Structure 1
Amino acid sequence: MPSIRNMLNLARPRTGDIPAQRQAQVPDRGDAAWQRLEEGNRRWAVGHSSAEAARGPERRAALVDGQHPFAMVLGCADSRLPTEILFDQGLGDLFVVRTAGHALDEAVLGSIEYAVAALGVDLVVVLGHQSCGAIKAAAHTLDDGTVPDGHIRGLVERLAPDMARGRQAGITELDDLSRWHASATVDLLRQRSNIVRDASEAKGLGLVAATYELGTGLVKRAEGIKPA
């Protein structure tokens, strides 16, 4: 049976397969990737999607031998948050991981590191949203001590510390807590992953916290609220 190291080497794209700007320091590559996502989101939000051809049989066939996504998105698993659709991207453009409340665990961290180290993405986005049920459940636990049953408990326990810190900073509205949590998750990525931190500091990897507005369909950077 092959070792884990050998399996990872087999899965890793050859250096020549990754665009040159992802192999060396290019300060603005993260900004360019975020602009591409913003433009796609604005097209989709007003009903002018242009990604249909990039989701068809020809694109599917072209991706059989490998993938070269330009961005990685860690988003909430909410059914109203279809990542590739709301960013108006095609097959193979985004490497996506979704968990309720975009909670981090070892599997999620490993997936993000794979996107950064093996696939060479230009950008990592943490995407929260309005009216997040996971955020609401965690805040509810803080308010009255009610703990959900089953594995939902573990999820809430991962989210509750951010809710508590947000409350201590004077943030009370759930949607503001969602923005806070997105920013806090980006900071946690830097703290817990040497791969992510080094890529952002040395090779121009972009790190963006953002939230999705259910009513307008727009994704906006989580600016103005920063974890302490």
Structure 2
Amino acid sequence: MDSVKWRKDHYVVNRDSAYADPRIALRKLMGGNRRFIEDKSIRPRQSRQDLTNTEKGQKPFAVIVGCSDSRVPNEIIFDQGVGDLFIIRTAGQVMAAASYGSVEFATVALGSKLIVVLGHQSCGAVDAAIKRPDVPGHIVTLVNSIKPAAQKAKAMGGNMLENAIRANVIDQVNELRDLEPVLAKKYRNGEILIVGAVYNLGTGKVEFLPETLKDLPEFRASTK
């Protein structure tokens, strides 16, 4: 098969272009997820040699701030390989100082320009924030962090859990966009993009939330 046609049929986006421009990186993630749900996954850069080739460094083209849920394997659902994604995972993708520092490290030290906050359907942490059961230990810190999104969902019509999951992602996107001193400045200057998405466990589809795709800053490559 002609290579150009094959790339088009499999929604393949050049990796170097995705690393250089976050809008292209976003298309690359969308294309990879489309391959996944259409059973066209190409499983790029997943050999032993690919692992050893990253020994001296990494240049992930996207940062995923996602939930720890074992049903959301990021490289698989986006059909990406070794060294492509810098992933920070906690229950409910709740963030604190270590998460902030990890995202900042990816943008400053590794040059990643796209940050995606990835929630998912049927998230247990969000469900707990709605139901507020008695929870032991530090689990309560997760629940408390998601409570604002749960409160917003109560004022909406429709499925409360699904609404809270989306509201939580949007809140977290805004949290990162406003995070001083590193991310807020880079986002305002158009050096990085920060968007949100929700993964559907039943279909495998990642929906990038339109609320987080509006009024994005025009991309400008850093001069540093």
| TM-score grouping bracket, smaller chain normalisation | 0.7 to 0.9
CA RMSD in angstroms, aligned pairs only: 2.2
Change (3 A) 1:195 1:222: same
Contact preservation (8 Å) 1:125, 1:207 = yes
Length, aligned pairs only: 198
Mapped pair 1:79 → 2:66: no
Contact preservation (8 Å) 2:113, 2:192 = yes
Residue in 1 that maps onto 2:40: 48
1:83-98 correspondence runs (5 A): 83-98=74-89
Q: Distance in 2 between matches of 1:119 and 1:169?
A: 40
Residue in 2 that maps onto 1:14: none
Change (3 A) 1:123 1:112: same
Mapped pair 1:160 → 2:147: yes
Deviations along 1:89-109, whole A, 9 cap, x unmatched?
A: 000000001100000111111
SS at match of 1:66: coil
1:21-170 correspondence runs (5 A): 29-52=21-44, 54-141=45-132, 146-168=133-155
Range with bigger deviation, 165-174 or 41-50: 165-174
Q: Which of the numbers 180, 188, 196 marks the counterpart of 1:193?
A: 180
Which protein has the bigger helix share? 1
State TM-score, norm by structure 1: 0.80
Change (3 A) 1:225 1:20: closer
Residue in 2 that maps onto 1:210: 197
Q: Distance in 2 between matches of 1:102 and 1:126?
A: 8
Structure with larger RCO (C-alpha < 8 A, sep 6+): 1
State TM-score, norm by structure 2: 0.82
Range with bigger deviation, 87-96 or 187-196: 187-196
Q: Distance in 2 between matches of 1:198 and 1:170?
A: 36
Q: Distance in 1 between matches of 2:142 and 2:103?
A: 19
Range with bigger deviation, 88-97 or 174-183: 174-183
Change (3 A) 1:20 1:179: closer
Identity rate, percent: 37
Tell me how far 1:187 sits from its aligned partner: 0.2
SS at match of 1:38: helix
Tell me how far 1:194 sits from its aligned partner: 2.5
Tell me how far 1:170 sits from its aligned partner: 5.7
Q: Distance in 1 between matches of 2:94 and 2:158?
A: 20
Q: Distance in 2 between matches of 1:203 and 1:36?
A: 19
Contact preservation (8 Å) 1:72, 1:124 = yes
Amino acid at match of 1:140: K
Q: Distance in 2 between matches of 1:225 and 1:21?
A: 19
Change (3 A) 1:160 1:114: same
